[in-house]
Structure 1
Amino acid sequence: MHGLQRMIASAVALLAALAHPGAHAADAAPAATPATTPAALPPVQDFFSNPQFSTVQLSPSGRYLAAKLTSPNGRERLAVVDLSNNSALSVASFHDTDVGQFAWVNDERLLLDTVDMQVGVGDARYGPGLYAVNRDGSQFRQLASRRGDAHAVQSQRLLPWHTYMLGQRGTQDSDQVYVLSRKITGPGQMEYADLLQLNTKTGYSTTLKRPGDTHDWLLDSKGEPRLATVVENGRSSVHYRDPATGAWRELGSFGQFTGGKGSFRPLAFAPDGTLYVVTSAYRDKSAVHSYDLATGKINPQPLVELEHYDFSGRLIMSQDKLLGVRYLADAQGTRWLDPAMQAIQQEVDKLLPNTLNLLTPPSRPETPNLLVESYSDVQPRVFMLYNSANRQLSKIGASRPQIRPGQMGKQDLVTYAARDGLQIPAWLTLPHGKDKNLPMVVLVHGGPFVRGGQWGWRPDVQFLASRGYAVLEPEYRGSTGFGEAHFKAGWKQWGLKMQDDIADGTRWAIAQGIADGKRICIAGASYGGYATLMGLVNNPELYQCGVEWAGVTDIKLMYTGHWSFQSDLPDAWKQYGMPHLIGDPEKDAEQLKATSPLEQAARIRQPLLLAYGGSDMRMPLYHGKKFRDAVQKTNRQVEWVEYEEEGHGWVLQKNRYDFWTRVEGFLNKHIGSSQGEK
């Protein structure tokens, strides 16, 4: 049982010395600055360092395991383990970047790209590139350039830098894969994405004829292109490619951002050729249905529906059978359609009774090996291997082995009524061993038209809980995942009913005795930053302080931008999405002014921590600077920090450490435990 664990430990130690020919070990990363926290508390680095172990995949046969491992120098490399003899080999590493995504091409070969985890967005100079290598480290080949260098591309027969992995499983029985080549016209602006069939050994590629300005492609279960989603003039249309003739025909067309009657999202093709789609055509919550390609109709009887949630997930398939469905309810789960897999799930759950356990079988199994990802609200992900023949479970590695579950806070999904009666779900995390009269952080998710959270361990939430704070995360109206009515109730409600939902959740926590009404701070990033500022404006009686990072400070600025910075908000979103979901800059001008934190800055008198990335193209720096200058005219309790090289969030460990250390000090000063003793 422990042989694989010892082998992986040895592989990690060897990675610093094992490098692919042509790659060199990077200089050692500088040591992190020690956190200035009490000795009894887990340090900030435990929460916000890069995972020590991430992304594990079984080969199609299940004979080999590929994993990204962090080397002593901080760079992530790709290693392959032969599970028949527990031998490990580093097969891909780079002196100036990290291995990014990877996928098995077949049982002998892998495809990978890169991502530099040691530079911020503002300092990034290269694309992801594209590479292939055999599982024994041989036949390493670069397939796409990392630079916009036309001469290098031409002379070395490389695909251009804007070539990307597709993220879907191919045939896995040849050296061929499909990749994307995107026509990018500016930051956040993609005109279309070509689909290329690429030979990973020769580098030769051919381009598939597309039916229009295609943004998304879907392969069938045999790994062949079968569907394309075309986006033109605010409409999304789904096109089907006939396997016999190669001709395209349209299946349906809907609003790109607003959907419409009968709208659906293609999910996957099963091995028997059935197309499954996700739609809310028959109920408020979207579900998985089969689609009849001959009649163009959706089967009213769902394959999978969740009582309280929209479907989000994927089909789990072998080469010739639909095995089950992975879905997200309050937490991730699996509905196995295959009795054998259901029996294995029960075996694993008995061995790991205190965690949620996600099983992934190989696609072309020749062994009894299955991958297991195990986690809970207090335990970050741990990767394991389960042998269904001898029923042995072996630990491969842990994403954050330094985290001690006994120090973490328990998380629950709660529901409260908004003032108009709408039921609002929310995630509540309480400090270990405490549940009453607590200082609380209301943490508002970004988006806003996304789902905010799910049951499981999160670094920001658990860091706050470890410092003694209750954390409330409302899934306010406009959040997705809780039905179409909940989503549409948030249209054009920025700063209005969406904001009321957050305030009503805060009052609920006070009424329940969970939160001390005199020690509450509101916090969030992006839209969550906007809601933080509007919370301080609308409800000064509720919030004693605010922490806002990378946030929207004026809706009109999202439309108009600023001469000094370029935004990556797509033009189509501004033209076809924002006027309907947020507000029209002309028709709704008065509402947008009334719900602008910039316009209302003089009303904010509470202490405020603001943080922005100097290279943020989603919410460029002018959002933060204009608001900072406005609010400081009437508020002397404003702290400002700028991370020059960062974008829309903090990529670099040193900046995560710095920011959350600042947050800890700010909260302790204004609502922390010392405040409760006064």
Structure 2
Amino acid sequence: MIKYLLAGLATVAGLADAAPPAQHFFESPHYKEVMISPSGRYLALRVGDNEARDSLAVVDTETLQIVSGKRVNNYDIGNIRWVNDERLVYSVLDNRTKWGDWNYAPGLYAFSRDGKETRQLVDHEWAKSDLGTLIKSRLEPWNTYLMEQDGGQDSNFIYLRRLIWTKKAGYDLERTELIKLDTVNGQSSTLSHPGTAQGWMLDAKGIPAIMVSSKDNVETIHYRNASGEWRDVATQTAYGVNEEGISPIGFYDDKRLLVMTRTSGDKAALYLMDLATGKVDPEPLVALADFDFNGGVVYSNNRMVGIHYQADAWSSAWFDPALQAAQKEVDRKLTGLINIITPPTHPETSWMLVASYSDRQPIFYSLYNSKTHEIKGIGGRHPDIKASEMGRQDMIKYRARDGMDIPAWLTMPAKGGKKLPMVVLVHGGPYVRGNSWGWDVAGQFLASRGYVVLEPEFRGTTGYGFKLFKAGLKQWGLKMQDDIADSVKWAVDKGIADPDRVCIMGASYGGYATLMGLVNDPGLYRCGIAYAAVTDIPLLYDSGMAVLSEVSPDYKTYGMPTLVGEPEKDAAQFDATSPLKQAARIKRPLLLAHGTDDIRVPYPHFIKMRSALQEAKANVEFVEYVGEGHEWSTLKTRLDFWGRVEKFLDKNIGQNAHQ
């Protein structure tokens, strides 16, 4: 059984006072990726290691014996995929190098299951390093990447994405081509298609069948039939607000496409679209009362067998009776956990992969045998984390000042308590869903230090219905900010948070909201922590002096004016809601950190804000991470940053705070 994996689920009794080491939270996961082979006879594991490079191991599912392994010189194993039961592919990366210092592309390598052959398929461009003995052949160019989908897994072919950038200043993404590659002989071909391709989808058999093109803010969904002919099935606005927009999710069968859309009501649901007529069924296949549908299709034996979807937590809807029974049995054996089952695509055994987690338990992996009902433990992503030392997480709702109900996630320290110091953790985006029920590294690290963590899903957030999203249009620093402040007032009124010990924290848009929180509500927050922060909305349009930016010209032209505002028309509002222009109003202690090579929120956001705060003689700790991007890519940076966070919070709202 898997008792050793569940040992951390003991009660809180006897919990030690010493907080778990920060490294247990922020080190690379031990099992970063686990993929079951098409037959179910093998697992491919990407294994993290703090001392050595990440490696690839192939394991027999029956015996759990290692069949073969792979480690490359000077690189870590990146993403892995099964091509078929005899062959895998993997990319490489470098976990020890900061993002801005990367001078290579991920490349791609084929690897035989028995470990006897490695063949390079895709070039690294800049890097000329020793990656082992390779069969020399024509290589695909460096800008060729794995798809997220597995593919058919029944031949030597895989499909890859080739990203094409413009050669103008900014190097914006122009289109994405689809490449069919033979992983044995290295021969390839480019799939012909209409329009300017931006995205691709394979059907249940692993054949390219959906292509999404975009031009001049018009997005077209194209369907490719069995004869290879393309036909338009839907046309819609690409950016901005489209209440009835359609998103392809997968294939129900050869005649019907699964799409996410909103035909009536507030929540988006999963519907069937007739590929012959383009019509969407009036009744949804999967609809959730409190959430927009978000999920993906599970294929096995070349057909759709189920859906993995996100509600408060991730769950599964199975259309195959055998998988319904397997889910019921796994849930019975692994109680108190979310258990996500992945069946093999071409099963020859009864083994299935299971990923299990809870709010206190990081993901761990097991194998389940549908015939014998045996469960065999494989290992976890964060094996040093003890669930008994983690906090409980719950979804709550509070009422904003204008009467709108706002969802939020509340994580309490393991020991509980009343009137505790609290960190308001503001998600980035902002037009994304912030969180869901499960073990979260930032929230649990803060909770392990004795802080309540409150994560409001303020208006503008997606995933909770169109009304909540639409209410956030052009509300940066205004009603979106009020929602965050109102979450604090709710926690104080409930006796959860100490009103004198609340700190606001976030990255990207969350960093912007942190800064605006200190501007708008200095009496509410004792301190703020902002990293990779947007500091001025107009800077998102022109990127300051930065050469590269991930904000595309089309998004700036068509998306941002609707979602955020227009630079000229809304200039007065942008000034009033600019942390940069309102820097003199920031009087509370602030920790401000940024990576010099951030291309999502370019470095000038930090430079200009630092100058303004220094001029205002604000109480700020500035941290500059040379070579880092929008996220902290190395363990050294993560430990340094979160160590600073821990000290900063302790000084301002923790046990050592000046009362």
TM over 0.5: yes
Match of 1:430 in 2: 412
Using the TM superposition, give the Cα deviation of residue 73 of structure 1 relative to its aligned residue in structure 2, in angstroms: 3.3
Match of 1:178 in 2: 159
Using the TM superposition, give the Cα deviation of residue 221 of structure 1 relative to its aligned residue in structure 2, in angstroms: 1.1
Using the TM superposition, give the Cα deviation of residue 636 of structure 1 relative to its aligned residue in structure 2, in angstroms: 3.9
**Retained in 1: the 8 A contact 2:550–2:600?**
yes
Match of 2:576 in 1: 594
- The reply on whether 1:229 has 2:222 as its aligned counterpart is no
- Give me the whole-angstrom Cα distance separating, in 1, the residues matched to 2:155 and 2:74: 31
Deviations 1:382-422 (A, max 9, x none): 11111122111111011111111111110000000111111
Question: Where in structure 1 are there 5+ consecutive unaligned residues?
Answer: 6-37
Match of 1:139 in 2: 117
Correspondent of 1:643 among 612, 625, 637: 625
- Give me the whole-angstrom Cα distance separating, in 2, the residues matched to 1:400 and 1:59: 23
Deviations 1:591-618 (A, max 9, x none): 1111100010000000000000011111
**Retained in 2: the 8 A contact 1:604–1:635?**
no
Using the TM superposition, give the Cα deviation of residue 327 of structure 1 relative to its aligned residue in structure 2, in angstroms: 0.6
Correspondent of 1:614 among 590, 596, 616: 596
Correspondent of 1:158 among 117, 139, 148: 139
**Retained in 1: the 8 A contact 2:204–2:304?**
no
Match of 1:24 in 2: none
Summarize the Cα distance change of 1:75–1:200 in structure 2 as closer, same or farther, 3 Å threshold. same
- Give me the whole-angstrom Cα distance separating, in 1, the residues matched to 2:377 and 2:231: 48
- The reply on whether 1:247 has 2:225 as its aligned counterpart is no
Which AA in structure 2 matches 1:296? G
Match of 1:57 in 2: 35
**Retained in 1: the 8 A contact 2:27–2:50?**
no
Count of residues in Structure 1 that have an aligned counterpart in Structure 2: 642
Using the TM superposition, give the Cα deviation of residue 526 of structure 1 relative to its aligned residue in structure 2, in angstroms: 0.2
Match of 1:521 in 2: 503
SS in 2 for 1:626: helix
* Larger displacement relative to structure 2 (438-447 or 268-277): 268-277
Match of 1:105 in 2: 83
- Give me the whole-angstrom Cα distance separating, in 2, the residues matched to 1:435 and 1:335: 37
- The reply on whether 1:297 has 2:275 as its aligned counterpart is no
Match of 1:535 in 2: 517
Match of 1:359 in 2: 341
Using the TM superposition, give the Cα deviation of residue 465 of structure 1 relative to its aligned residue in structure 2, in angstroms: 0.5
Match of 1:263 in 2: 245
- Give me the whole-angstrom Cα distance separating, in 2, the residues matched to 1:588 and 1:602: 22
**Retained in 2: the 8 A contact 1:252–1:263?**
no
Using the TM superposition, give the Cα deviation of residue 59 of structure 1 relative to its aligned residue in structure 2, in angstroms: 0.6
- The reply on whether 1:563 has 2:575 as its aligned counterpart is no
- Give me the whole-angstrom Cα distance separating, in 2, the residues matched to 1:2 and 1:566: 48
SS in 1 for 2:379: strand
Match of 1:370 in 2: 352
Using the TM superposition, give the Cα deviation of residue 564 of structure 1 relative to its aligned residue in structure 2, in angstroms: 5.1
Which AA in structure 1 matches 2:143? H
Match of 1:70 in 2: 48
SS in 2 for 1:105: strand
Which AA in structure 2 matches 1:141? R
- Give me the whole-angstrom Cα distance separating, in 2, the residues matched to 1:636 and 1:301: 57
Using the TM superposition, give the Cα deviation of residue 294 of structure 1 relative to its aligned residue in structure 2, in angstroms: 1.6
Correspondences of 1:311-390 after superposition (within 5 Å): 311-390=293-372
Summarize the Cα distance change of 1:589–1:49 in structure 2 as closer, same or farther, 3 Å threshold. same
- Give me the whole-angstrom Cα distance separating, in 2, the residues matched to 1:135 and 1:108: 5
- Give me the whole-angstrom Cα distance separating, in 1, the residues matched to 2:3 and 2:312: 36
Deviations 1:7-28 (A, max 9, x none): xxxxxxxxxxxxxxxxxxxxxx
Deviations 1:448-497 (A, max 9, x none): 00000011111111111011100000000000101112111111000011
**Retained in 2: the 8 A contact 1:331–1:454?**
yes
- Give me the whole-angstrom Cα distance separating, in 2, the residues matched to 1:86 and 1:453: 34
SS in 2 for 1:599: coil
Using the TM superposition, give the Cα deviation of residue 67 of structure 1 relative to its aligned residue in structure 2, in angstroms: 0.6
Using the TM superposition, give the Cα deviation of residue 49 of structure 1 relative to its aligned residue in structure 2, in angstroms: 0.7
Correspondences of 1:392-541 after superposition (within 5 Å): 392-541=374-523
- Give me the whole-angstrom Cα distance separating, in 1, the residues matched to 2:607 and 2:304: 53
SS in 1 for 2:638: helix
Q: What percent identity do the matched residue pairs reach?
A: 49
How high is the TM-score relative to the length of structure 1?
0.92
Using the TM superposition, give the Cα deviation of residue 223 of structure 1 relative to its aligned residue in structure 2, in angstroms: 1.2
**Retained in 1: the 8 A contact 2:359–2:438?**
yes
Deviations 1:324-377 (A, max 9, x none): 211100100111222221211111112111211111111111111011111111
- The reply on whether 1:167 has 2:148 as its aligned counterpart is yes
**Retained in 1: the 8 A contact 2:204–2:303?**
no
Using the TM superposition, give the Cα deviation of residue 273 of structure 1 relative to its aligned residue in structure 2, in angstroms: 3.9
Match of 2:103 in 1: 125
**Retained in 2: the 8 A contact 1:192–1:215?**
yes
**Retained in 2: the 8 A contact 1:3–1:86?**
no
- Give me the whole-angstrom Cα distance separating, in 1, the residues matched to 2:496 and 2:653: 15
* Larger displacement relative to structure 2 (201-210 or 625-634): 625-634
- Give me the whole-angstrom Cα distance separating, in 2, the residues matched to 1:533 and 1:71: 37
Summarize the Cα distance change of 1:560–1:50 in structure 2 as closer, same or farther, 3 Å threshold. same
- Give me the whole-angstrom Cα distance separating, in 1, the residues matched to 2:505 and 2:491: 16
Summarize the Cα distance change of 1:534–1:424 in structure 2 as closer, same or farther, 3 Å threshold. same
Match of 2:73 in 1: 95
Match of 1:391 in 2: 373
SS in 1 for 2:322: helix
SS in 2 for 1:297: coil
Correspondent of 1:44 among 7, 22, 38: 22
**Retained in 1: the 8 A contact 2:217–2:239?**
yes
- Give me the whole-angstrom Cα distance separating, in 1, the residues matched to 2:523 and 2:437: 30
Deviations 1:264-302 (A, max 9, x none): 011111344421111012232111111011221100111
Summarize the Cα distance change of 1:473–1:259 in structure 2 as closer, same or farther, 3 Å threshold. same
Which AA in structure 2 matches 1:287? A
Which AA in structure 1 matches 2:36? L
Question: Where in structure 2 are there 5+ consecutive unaligned residues?
Answer: 6-15, 131-135
- Give me the whole-angstrom Cα distance separating, in 2, the residues matched to 1:204 and 1:321: 28
- Give me the whole-angstrom Cα distance separating, in 2, the residues matched to 1:630 and 1:71: 42
Using the TM superposition, give the Cα deviation of residue 162 of structure 1 relative to its aligned residue in structure 2, in angstroms: 0.1
**Retained in 1: the 8 A contact 2:546–2:602?**
no
SS in 2 for 1:632: helix
Summarize the Cα distance change of 1:72–1:542 in structure 2 as closer, same or farther, 3 Å threshold. closer
Which AA in structure 2 matches 1:525? A
Match of 1:201 in 2: 184
Match of 2:133 in 1: none
How high is the TM-score relative to the length of structure 2?
0.94
SS in 2 for 1:579: helix
Match of 1:604 in 2: 586
Using the TM superposition, give the Cα deviation of residue 169 of structure 1 relative to its aligned residue in structure 2, in angstroms: 2.4
**Retained in 2: the 8 A contact 1:605–1:634?**
no
- Give me the whole-angstrom Cα distance separating, in 2, the residues matched to 1:506 and 1:64: 49
SS in 1 for 2:166: strand
Match of 2:11 in 1: none
Summarize the Cα distance change of 1:261–1:47 in structure 2 as closer, same or farther, 3 Å threshold. closer
Using the TM superposition, give the Cα deviation of residue 74 of structure 1 relative to its aligned residue in structure 2, in angstroms: 3.0
- Give me the whole-angstrom Cα distance separating, in 2, the residues matched to 1:85 and 1:675: 55
Give the superposed CA RMSD: 2.0
**Retained in 2: the 8 A contact 1:468–1:673?**
no
- Give me the whole-angstrom Cα distance separating, in 1, the residues matched to 2:241 and 2:425: 29
* Larger displacement relative to structure 2 (89-98 or 167-176): 89-98
Deviations 1:485-519 (A, max 9, x none): 21111110000110010011111111111001010
Using the TM superposition, give the Cα deviation of residue 257 of structure 1 relative to its aligned residue in structure 2, in angstroms: 1.9
